[in-house]
Amino acid sequence: MPYLSASVMFFTCTGSCTDERCLKADRKRHTREQLYSCSHCGKCFASRCGLWYHMNTRTDKYKCTECGRRCQGSYDLALHKRTHSGEKPFECTVCSKRFTRSGDLVSHGRIHSGEKSHRCQMCDKTFRHSGHLNAHMRVHTGDKPYKCSLCNKSFSFSSNLQTHLHIHTGAKPYSCRHCSERFIWLRQLRSHLLKSHNEGTWVTCHICQKKFSCSYYLKDHVRRHEGVKPYICGECPKRFCTAAELRHHQSVHLDYKQFICFLCDKSFRRKFEIRKHFRRCLDILGLSTV
Protein backbone atom coordinates (compact mmCIF):
# COMPACT_ATOMS: atom_id res chain seq x y z
CA MET A 1 0.00 0.00 0.00
CA PRO A 2 1.44 3.44 -0.88
CA TYR A 3 2.81 5.90 1.63
CA LEU A 4 0.52 8.91 1.80
CA SER A 5 1.30 11.89 3.98
CA ALA A 6 -0.99 14.62 5.22
CA SER A 7 0.27 17.29 7.63
CA VAL A 8 1.48 15.23 10.63
CA MET A 9 -0.12 11.91 9.69
CA PHE A 10 1.70 9.28 7.64
CA PHE A 11 -0.42 6.49 6.16
CA THR A 12 1.40 3.15 5.89
CA CYS A 13 0.59 -0.47 5.25
CA THR A 14 0.09 -1.00 8.97
CA GLY A 15 -2.17 2.00 9.49
CA SER A 16 -1.09 5.50 10.50
CA CYS A 17 2.17 6.93 11.84
CA THR A 18 2.25 10.11 13.88
CA ASP A 19 5.85 11.03 12.99
CA GLU A 20 8.46 10.52 10.30
CA ARG A 21 10.48 8.15 12.51
CA CYS A 22 7.57 5.72 12.50
CA LEU A 23 7.34 6.03 8.72
CA LYS A 24 11.06 5.29 8.27
CA ALA A 25 10.73 2.19 10.48
CA ASP A 26 7.85 0.95 8.34
CA ARG A 27 9.92 1.46 5.17
CA LYS A 28 12.77 -0.53 6.72
CA ARG A 29 10.46 -3.49 7.17
CA HIS A 30 9.77 -3.52 3.43
CA THR A 31 13.33 -2.87 2.21
CA ARG A 32 14.83 -5.04 5.01
CA GLU A 33 17.40 -2.27 5.49
CA GLN A 34 19.32 -2.37 8.80
CA LEU A 35 16.92 -4.82 10.42
CA TYR A 36 17.66 -6.34 13.83
CA SER A 37 16.75 -10.02 14.03
CA CYS A 38 15.98 -12.31 16.96
CA SER A 39 18.55 -15.12 17.25
CA HIS A 40 15.84 -17.50 18.51
CA CYS A 41 12.95 -17.09 16.06
CA GLY A 42 14.43 -14.95 13.27
CA LYS A 43 11.80 -12.23 13.60
CA CYS A 44 13.14 -8.85 12.40
CA PHE A 45 12.76 -5.39 13.91
CA ALA A 46 13.48 -1.92 12.57
CA SER A 47 15.19 -0.78 15.79
CA ARG A 48 17.31 -2.18 18.62
CA CYS A 49 14.58 -1.08 21.03
CA GLY A 50 12.01 -3.22 19.24
CA LEU A 51 14.31 -6.24 19.39
CA TRP A 52 15.00 -5.62 23.10
CA TYR A 53 11.28 -5.57 23.92
CA HIS A 54 10.79 -8.75 21.90
CA MET A 55 13.65 -10.56 23.69
CA ASN A 56 12.06 -9.72 27.05
CA THR A 57 8.95 -11.69 26.03
CA ARG A 58 11.15 -14.77 25.53
CA THR A 59 12.47 -14.72 29.11
CA ASP A 60 10.93 -14.73 32.58
CA LYS A 61 12.35 -11.29 33.44
CA TYR A 62 8.94 -9.60 33.21
CA LYS A 63 6.65 -12.58 33.77
CA CYS A 64 3.24 -12.27 35.44
CA THR A 65 3.05 -14.47 38.54
CA GLU A 66 -0.74 -14.79 38.15
CA CYS A 67 -1.07 -16.16 34.61
CA GLY A 68 2.50 -16.61 33.33
CA ARG A 69 2.30 -13.99 30.59
CA ARG A 70 5.68 -12.57 29.59
CA CYS A 71 5.67 -8.80 29.12
CA GLN A 72 7.94 -6.44 27.18
CA GLY A 73 9.07 -4.45 30.20
CA SER A 74 8.33 -3.35 33.75
CA TYR A 75 5.76 -0.75 32.66
CA ASP A 76 3.98 -3.28 30.44
CA LEU A 77 3.98 -5.79 33.32
CA ALA A 78 2.57 -3.21 35.77
CA LEU A 79 -0.27 -2.42 33.34
CA HIS A 80 -0.96 -6.12 32.78
CA LYS A 81 -1.18 -6.83 36.53
CA ARG A 82 -4.07 -4.37 36.75
CA THR A 83 -6.18 -6.82 34.69
CA HIS A 84 -5.91 -9.19 37.67
CA SER A 85 -6.16 -6.67 40.50
CA GLY A 86 -8.92 -4.62 38.90
CA GLU A 87 -7.05 -1.38 39.68
CA LYS A 88 -8.26 1.58 37.58
CA PRO A 89 -6.46 4.74 38.73
CA PHE A 90 -7.57 7.05 35.89
CA GLU A 91 -11.05 8.59 36.28
CA CYS A 92 -13.10 10.55 33.73
CA THR A 93 -14.08 13.95 35.13
CA VAL A 94 -17.31 13.95 33.09
CA CYS A 95 -18.90 10.56 33.86
CA SER A 96 -16.59 9.15 36.57
CA LYS A 97 -15.80 6.03 34.54
CA ARG A 98 -12.39 4.62 35.51
CA PHE A 99 -9.61 3.16 33.38
CA THR A 100 -6.47 1.07 33.75
CA ARG A 101 -4.38 3.17 31.34
CA SER A 102 -4.07 6.92 30.91
CA GLY A 103 -4.28 6.45 27.13
CA ASP A 104 -7.64 4.72 27.53
CA LEU A 105 -8.90 7.72 29.50
CA VAL A 106 -7.74 10.11 26.76
CA SER A 107 -9.46 7.95 24.14
CA HIS A 108 -12.64 7.80 26.25
CA GLY A 109 -12.64 11.58 26.56
CA ARG A 110 -13.20 11.81 22.81
CA ILE A 111 -16.60 10.17 23.32
CA HIS A 112 -17.70 13.24 25.27
CA SER A 113 -16.00 15.73 22.92
CA GLY A 114 -17.05 13.92 19.73
CA GLU A 115 -13.53 14.25 18.33
CA LYS A 116 -12.58 11.77 15.57
CA SER A 117 -9.23 12.91 14.26
CA HIS A 118 -8.09 9.71 12.51
CA ARG A 119 -9.49 9.23 8.99
CA CYS A 120 -9.34 6.15 6.75
CA GLN A 121 -7.76 7.08 3.41
CA MET A 122 -9.76 4.40 1.58
CA CYS A 123 -13.37 4.89 2.72
CA ASP A 124 -13.19 8.24 4.56
CA LYS A 125 -14.47 6.74 7.81
CA THR A 126 -13.20 8.54 10.93
CA PHE A 127 -12.03 7.16 14.29
CA ARG A 128 -11.29 8.50 17.73
CA HIS A 129 -7.77 7.06 17.92
CA SER A 130 -5.16 5.43 15.69
CA GLY A 131 -5.66 1.96 17.17
CA HIS A 132 -9.21 1.82 15.84
CA LEU A 133 -8.00 3.07 12.46
CA ASN A 134 -5.29 0.41 12.29
CA ALA A 135 -7.83 -2.28 13.11
CA HIS A 136 -10.22 -0.90 10.50
CA MET A 137 -7.54 -0.89 7.78
CA ARG A 138 -7.28 -4.66 7.93
CA VAL A 139 -10.93 -4.82 6.80
CA HIS A 140 -9.72 -3.32 3.50
CA THR A 141 -6.44 -5.23 3.24
CA GLY A 142 -7.56 -8.55 4.72
CA ASP A 143 -4.16 -8.72 6.40
CA LYS A 144 -3.87 -11.43 9.10
CA PRO A 145 -0.16 -11.83 9.75
CA TYR A 146 -0.41 -13.81 13.00
CA LYS A 147 -1.06 -17.53 12.52
CA CYS A 148 -1.73 -20.18 15.17
CA SER A 149 0.82 -23.00 14.87
CA LEU A 150 -1.71 -25.53 16.21
CA CYS A 151 -4.75 -24.94 13.97
CA ASN A 152 -3.44 -22.46 11.33
CA LYS A 153 -6.14 -19.93 12.18
CA SER A 154 -4.92 -16.41 11.33
CA PHE A 155 -5.37 -13.15 13.24
CA SER A 156 -4.91 -9.47 12.55
CA PHE A 157 -3.21 -8.78 15.89
CA SER A 158 -0.68 -10.69 18.00
CA SER A 159 -2.81 -10.05 21.12
CA ASN A 160 -5.73 -11.86 19.47
CA LEU A 161 -3.46 -14.80 18.69
CA GLN A 162 -2.21 -14.95 22.29
CA THR A 163 -5.79 -14.97 23.55
CA HIS A 164 -6.75 -17.65 21.01
CA LEU A 165 -3.94 -19.92 22.27
CA HIS A 166 -5.76 -20.17 25.61
CA ILE A 167 -8.37 -22.30 23.78
CA HIS A 168 -5.70 -24.92 23.02
CA THR A 169 -3.93 -24.75 26.39
CA GLY A 170 -7.09 -24.51 28.48
CA ALA A 171 -5.66 -21.51 30.35
CA LYS A 172 -8.14 -19.14 31.98
CA PRO A 173 -6.07 -16.15 33.13
CA TYR A 174 -8.95 -13.90 34.18
CA SER A 175 -10.35 -14.76 37.60
CA CYS A 176 -13.30 -13.28 39.48
CA ARG A 177 -12.34 -11.63 42.78
CA HIS A 178 -15.72 -12.55 44.30
CA CYS A 179 -15.99 -16.26 43.42
CA SER A 180 -14.00 -19.13 41.93
CA GLU A 181 -15.03 -18.52 38.29
CA ARG A 182 -12.22 -18.09 35.74
CA PHE A 183 -12.40 -16.99 32.11
CA ILE A 184 -10.41 -17.16 28.87
CA TRP A 185 -11.33 -13.62 27.75
CA LEU A 186 -11.43 -10.38 29.69
CA ARG A 187 -14.82 -9.48 28.20
CA GLN A 188 -16.21 -12.69 29.72
CA LEU A 189 -14.99 -11.63 33.15
CA ARG A 190 -16.48 -8.14 32.77
CA SER A 191 -19.81 -9.62 31.70
CA HIS A 192 -19.73 -12.03 34.65
CA LEU A 193 -18.99 -9.22 37.13
CA LEU A 194 -21.97 -7.26 35.84
CA LYS A 195 -24.45 -10.11 35.71
CA SER A 196 -23.43 -12.06 38.82
CA HIS A 197 -22.00 -9.43 41.16
CA ASN A 198 -23.52 -6.16 39.89
CA GLU A 199 -20.02 -4.70 39.50
CA GLY A 200 -19.37 -2.33 36.61
CA THR A 201 -21.58 -0.22 34.38
CA TRP A 202 -24.09 -1.40 31.81
CA VAL A 203 -24.21 0.47 28.50
CA THR A 204 -27.71 1.11 27.14
CA CYS A 205 -29.03 1.51 23.61
CA HIS A 206 -30.64 4.95 23.33
CA ILE A 207 -33.17 3.62 20.81
CA CYS A 208 -34.58 0.45 22.42
CA GLN A 209 -33.02 0.64 25.91
CA LYS A 210 -31.43 -2.80 25.55
CA LYS A 211 -28.44 -3.19 27.88
CA PHE A 212 -24.98 -4.52 27.05
CA SER A 213 -21.96 -5.38 29.16
CA CYS A 214 -19.55 -3.96 26.57
CA SER A 215 -19.64 -0.82 24.37
CA TYR A 216 -18.24 -2.92 21.50
CA TYR A 217 -21.48 -4.95 21.35
CA LEU A 218 -23.57 -1.79 21.73
CA LYS A 219 -21.95 -0.21 18.66
CA ASP A 220 -22.79 -3.25 16.54
CA HIS A 221 -26.35 -3.21 17.89
CA VAL A 222 -26.90 0.50 17.12
CA ARG A 223 -25.69 -0.01 13.54
CA ARG A 224 -28.57 -2.43 13.00
CA HIS A 225 -31.07 0.22 14.15
CA GLU A 226 -29.53 2.82 11.86
CA GLY A 227 -29.06 0.47 8.92
CA VAL A 228 -25.36 1.34 8.72
CA LYS A 229 -23.26 -1.31 6.95
CA PRO A 230 -19.67 -0.03 6.71
CA TYR A 231 -18.01 -3.38 5.89
CA ILE A 232 -17.98 -4.11 2.15
CA CYS A 233 -17.07 -7.41 0.52
CA GLY A 234 -14.25 -7.04 -1.99
CA GLU A 235 -15.64 -9.84 -4.17
CA CYS A 236 -19.29 -8.78 -4.42
CA PRO A 237 -21.50 -5.74 -3.59
CA LYS A 238 -22.74 -7.11 -0.26
CA ARG A 239 -22.33 -4.93 2.85
CA PHE A 240 -22.37 -5.86 6.54
CA CYS A 241 -22.83 -4.25 9.95
CA THR A 242 -19.80 -5.93 11.56
CA ALA A 243 -16.37 -7.15 10.55
CA ALA A 244 -17.27 -10.62 11.90
CA GLU A 245 -20.24 -10.84 9.52
CA LEU A 246 -17.99 -9.83 6.62
CA ARG A 247 -15.40 -12.49 7.53
CA HIS A 248 -18.16 -15.09 7.78
CA HIS A 249 -19.48 -14.09 4.35
CA GLN A 250 -16.05 -14.09 2.66
CA SER A 251 -15.80 -17.88 3.03
CA VAL A 252 -18.46 -18.09 0.28
CA HIS A 253 -15.85 -16.85 -2.19
CA LEU A 254 -13.17 -19.34 -1.10
CA ASP A 255 -12.64 -22.83 -2.47
CA TYR A 256 -11.07 -23.94 0.80
CA LYS A 257 -13.36 -26.01 3.05
CA GLN A 258 -11.78 -26.33 6.47
CA PHE A 259 -14.49 -28.28 8.33
CA ILE A 260 -14.50 -32.03 7.61
CA CYS A 261 -16.99 -34.62 8.87
CA PHE A 262 -15.02 -37.56 10.28
CA LEU A 263 -17.96 -39.91 9.60
CA CYS A 264 -18.15 -39.42 5.84
CA ASP A 265 -15.21 -37.09 4.97
CA LYS A 266 -17.52 -34.48 3.42
CA SER A 267 -16.13 -30.96 3.83
CA PHE A 268 -17.76 -27.60 4.49
CA ARG A 269 -16.78 -23.92 4.52
CA ARG A 270 -18.72 -22.94 7.62
CA LYS A 271 -18.99 -24.36 11.12
CA PHE A 272 -22.79 -24.23 11.30
CA GLU A 273 -22.99 -26.23 8.03
CA ILE A 274 -20.93 -29.12 9.38
CA ARG A 275 -22.90 -29.11 12.65
CA LYS A 276 -26.16 -29.48 10.74
CA HIS A 277 -24.65 -32.16 8.49
CA PHE A 278 -23.13 -34.05 11.42
CA ARG A 279 -26.52 -34.39 13.13
CA ARG A 280 -27.94 -35.86 9.92
CA CYS A 281 -25.02 -38.28 9.70
CA LEU A 282 -25.66 -39.47 13.25
CA ASP A 283 -29.36 -40.02 12.46
CA ILE A 284 -28.55 -42.03 9.33
CA LEU A 285 -26.10 -44.24 11.19
CA GLY A 286 -28.45 -44.60 14.16
CA LEU A 287 -25.96 -43.01 16.51
CA SER A 288 -27.98 -39.96 17.57
CA THR A 289 -28.76 -39.52 21.24
CA VAL A 290 -31.98 -38.22 22.73
pLDDT score of 2: 37
pLDDT score of 9: 37
Percent of the chain with pLDDT over 70: 83
Kindly give the pairing relationship between strand 231-232 and strand 203-204. Answer: unpaired
Name the 3-class secondary structure at 238. coil
Question: Is the separation of the CB atoms in 228 and 241 below 8 Å?
Answer: yes
Residues 6+ apart with CB under 8 A from 79: 100, 101
List Cα–Cα distances, 270 to 237, 260, 261, 275, in angstroms.
21, 10, 12, 9
In this prediction, residues 158-183 reach a mean pLDDT of 85
148 Rama class: left (phi>0) / alpha (psi -120 to 50) / beta: beta
pLDDT single digits (tens) 2-47:
333 333 333 344 444 445 555 555 555 555 455 778 877 777 777 7
pLDDT single digits (tens) 232-284:
887 788 888 887 788 778 777 776 666 777 778 787 767 777 888 888 887 77
157-170 core/surface letters (b: 16 or more CB in 10 A; e: else): eeeebebbebeeee
Q: How many Å from the N-terminal Cα to the C-terminal Cα in the chain?
A: 55
Percent of the chain with pLDDT over 90: 6
With 60 as the cut, is the pLDDT of residue 55 above it?
yes
Question: Is the separation of the CB atoms in 164 and 151 below 8 Å?
Answer: no
The CATH number that domain 202-252 falls under is 3.30.160.60
pTM as predicted = 0.41
